[in-house]
Amino acid sequence: MAYSRGNSHSDILSGFGQGLPLDQEDLVDENTILVQRTLRSGQSIRYNGNVVVLGDVNPGAEISAAGNVIVMGALRGVVHAGAGGDEKAVVLAFKLQPTQLRISNHITRPPDNETPDADHPEMARIRDGVVTIEVFQTGLNDRAGVGK
């Protein structure tokens, strides 16, 4: 049930371009809401589309989105991307430390013994049927960012 972080890291760092290229056009579409605050314990967002948070998501807070979830801050609560069954949905955060991370019908949690101190943006998505965490990379030729 625990997701792996270390492996996918080295995958990405050693074999650049080996992973599926992330089509950034897919990340953003019309149906997106912007949450301009920090979500605290007990607060929840449910949305039938993408969710972008300008703030943190604290432990005890919940985001459930039919599409992708992007947190411009620390993600420490429970997050569910692709809640309607979209296996392509991703979760992206500046600090990805969720209590529990769900994509589509996959439910994962961080390994019990590991307290990673993510100091760079990371992205979670389903690859080969498992949720993997990787360093968020905008691509070598195009560093324009997500919302171009």
Partner 1 sequence: MGEVFVITSGKGGVGKTTTTANIGTGLASAGKKVVLVDADIGLRNLDVVLGLENRIVFDIVDVTSGNCRLRQALIKDKRLEGLHLLPAAQTKDKTAVSPDQMRTLCTELKKEFDYVVIDCPAGIEQGFRNAIAGADKAIVVTTPEVSAVRDADRIIGLLEAAELRDPKLIINRIRPKMVRQGDMMSIEDIIDILAVDLIGVIPEDEMIVITTNRGEPVVLDQHSRSGQAYRNINRRILGEEVPMMSMEEDGFFKKLRKIIGLN
Verify binding: residue 100, partner 1, rule CB under 8 A: yes
Interacting span for partner 1 (CB under 8 A) from 40-48, 86-94, 113-121, 140-148 = 40-48
62 near partner 1 (CB under 8 A): yes
Q: Rounded to 5 degrees, what angle do the CA atoms 50, 52, 58 make? A: 120
Neighbours of 67 (CB within 10 A): 24
Minimum distance, C-beta of residue 1 to partner 1, in the bound complex (Å): 8
CB of 44 to partner 1, least distance (A): 4
Nearer to partner 1, 10 or 113 (CB): 113
Q: Any contact of residue 109 with partner 1 (CB under 8 A)?
A: yes
105 Cβ neighbours under 8 A, 6+ residues apart: 85
Q: Is 41 in the site for partner 1 (CB under 8 A)?
A: yes
Of 93, 99, 66, whose CA–CA distance to 82 is shortest? 66
Q: How far, in Å, CA of 32 to CA of 65, rounded?
A: 10
